[in-house]
Amino acid sequence: MKLNTIETVESQFETFQILSEDGEIVNKKAMPDLSDEQLQELMRRMVYTRIWDQRAISLSRQGRLGFYAPVAGQEASMLGSQFALDKEDWILPGYRDIPQIVFHGFPLYQAFLWSRGHFQGGQFPDGLNILFPQIIIGAQIIQAAGVGLGLKKKGKKNVVITYTGDGGSSQGDFYEGINFAGAYQAQTIFVVQNNRFAISVPVEKQSAAKTIAQKAVAAGIEGIQVDGMDVLAVYAATKQARERALNGEGPTLIETLTYRFGPHTMAGDDPTRYRTKDLDNEWEKKDPLVRFRKFLEKKGLWTEEQETEVVEKAKEDIKAAIKKADSAPKQKVTDLIGIMFEELPYNLREQMEEYKAKESK
């Protein structure tokens, strides 16, 4: 008996791509049905996010932002997938996935408050179906199975999408989440943004599996590996996963091959300790903005002027958002006590009085 299961499996997870690095359509059949305005909007969002990332890194260095996980390089993966959602769909983001929830309706100033560590950063606008950025890697995956089942039970024509990284696919909760969603045929889309590194650990050290998409096999669900630097491919894959979920065909695991140009977080990570300049250069050539810009320019849908306009708008918005975040009141212990329970138990009622007295001094 010849053992060749692995090769057979791996051959079924070839990278799905629509746009080449030169901005040429290489897979016409898969080209999503997007209007010129939608294509421009996708570009606007990616440029906006790139500027926001640059500003956030600089604001973080100035101490005007707290925790921040850079996103440059992952714009196509993040925004292409979010663009395929309905506004009432749910997003369960990881800690890096702030752009998705912002373009879903989470105000920028609240994203900044979340970064600084202020409870108002978690007070989402009413009707916005998102959760706070999840710090416990994998927890969002099991929760997304639950949300996906809840949407199905309520008969909603909506899905939940959740994101983790390559490292996150090693967690137990990752497997449990995709397996539960499969067992219940939940309306869930799982996205693994494989940027090749979990802090300093390369993806090769996470698993012997050649793709992360093939981990879907363990749950008996569909899996697809996508060029995560190709916004059209990410959009098309997500759109299809969404339709499948709503047709009762169950969850999908999408692996996006992407790269973060910056450090893991702004908390002292130095990627030169574990990444070579060659690898950085290789991935910079795949920059999702560069290839989509080429594509749009060829179609006469993008000009330098439009780009400048977005850059200026992003800078203005960020300035205004930071200003608004600055005006948030300083947090008091009584505020924190007040958001623990619907009705305060004895110990907190007592402590509320103590801190009220202290705060009124």
Partner 1 sequence: MAQMTMIQAITDAMRTELKKDENVLVFGEDVGQNGGVFRATEGLQQEFGEDRVFDTPLAESGIGGLAIGLGLTGFRPVMEIQFFGFLFEVIDSIAGQMGRMRFRTGGKLHSPVTIRSPFGGGVKTPEMHADSLEGLMAQTPGVKVVIPSTPYDAKGLLISAIRDNDPVVFLEHMKLYRSFREEVPEEEYTIEIGKADVKREGKDISIIAYGAMVHASLKAAEELEKEGISAEVIDLRTISPLDIETIIASVEKTGRAIVVQEAQKQAGIAANVVAEITERAILHLEAPVLRVAAADTVYPFAAAEDTWLPDHKDIVEKAKQVYNF
- What is the DSSP secondary structure assignment for residue 174, as one 8-state letter? H
For residues 78 to 107, the per-residue mask of contacts with partner 1, x marking binding by CB under 8 A and - elsewhere, is ------------x-----------------
Q: Which of 260, 275, 291, 293 is catalytic?
A: 260
Q: Within 323-342, which residues bind partner 1 (CB under 8 A)?
A: 336, 338-342
When asked if residue 136 is in the footprint of partner 1 (CB under 8 A), the reply is yes
Total interface residues for partner 1 by CB under 8 A: 43
Q: Which of 47, 55, 124 is nearest to 79 (CA)?
A: 47
Out of 2, 28, 29, 154, the residue judged to bind partner 1 by CB under 8 A: 154
Cβ neighbours around 87 below 10 Å, total: 10
The answer to whether 90 and 159 have CB atoms below 8 angstroms apart is yes
Q: Which is nearer to partner 1, 119 or 274 (CB)?
A: 119
User: Which segment (73-81, 99-107, 174-182, 209-217) binds partner 1 by CB under 8 A?
Assistant: 174-182
Shortest distance (Å) from residue 315 CB to partner 1: 28
Cα–Cα distance between 233 and 16 in angstroms, integer? 7
When asked if residue 180 is in the footprint of partner 1 (CB under 8 A), the reply is yes
Shortest distance (Å) from residue 170 CB to partner 1: 14
The answer to whether 195 and 74 have CB atoms below 8 angstroms apart is yes
DSSP 231-279: HHHHHHHHHHHHHHHHTT---EEEEEE---SS-S-TTT--GGGT--HHH
Cβ neighbours around 353 below 10 Å, total: 12
Out of 268, 300, 329, 345, the residue judged to bind partner 1 by CB under 8 A: 345
When asked if residue 141 is in the footprint of partner 1 (CB under 8 A), the reply is yes
Q: Which of 264, 275, 291, 293 is catalytic?
A: 264
Cα–Cα distance between 201 and 198 in angstroms, integer? 5
Q: Which is nearer to partner 1, 32 or 177 (CB)?
A: 177
Burial 259-287 (b: 16+ CB within 10 A, else e): bbbbbbebeebebeeebeeeeeeebeebb
The answer to whether 59 and 113 have CB atoms below 8 angstroms apart is no
**Catalytic site includes residue 242:** no
When asked if residue 222 is in the footprint of partner 1 (CB under 8 A), the reply is no
The answer to whether 189 and 157 have CB atoms below 8 angstroms apart is no
**Catalytic site includes residue 48:** no
When asked if residue 149 is in the footprint of partner 1 (CB under 8 A), the reply is yes
User: Which segment (28-36, 70-78, 115-123, 248-256) binds partner 1 by CB under 8 A?
Assistant: 115-123
When asked if residue 351 is in the footprint of partner 1 (CB under 8 A), the reply is no
The answer to whether 189 and 254 have CB atoms below 8 angstroms apart is yes
Q: Residues with Cβ < 8 Å from 142, sequence gap 6 or more?
A: 173, 176, 177, 180
Out of 21, 41, 88, 176, the residue judged to bind partner 1 by CB under 8 A: 176
* Catalytic residue annotation: 260, 264, 274
Q: Which residues are at the interface with partner 1 (CB under 8 A)?
A: 90, 119-120, 122-124, 126, 131-132, 136, 139, 141-151, 153-154, 156, 160, 172-173, 176-177, 179-180, 183, 336, 338-342, 345-348
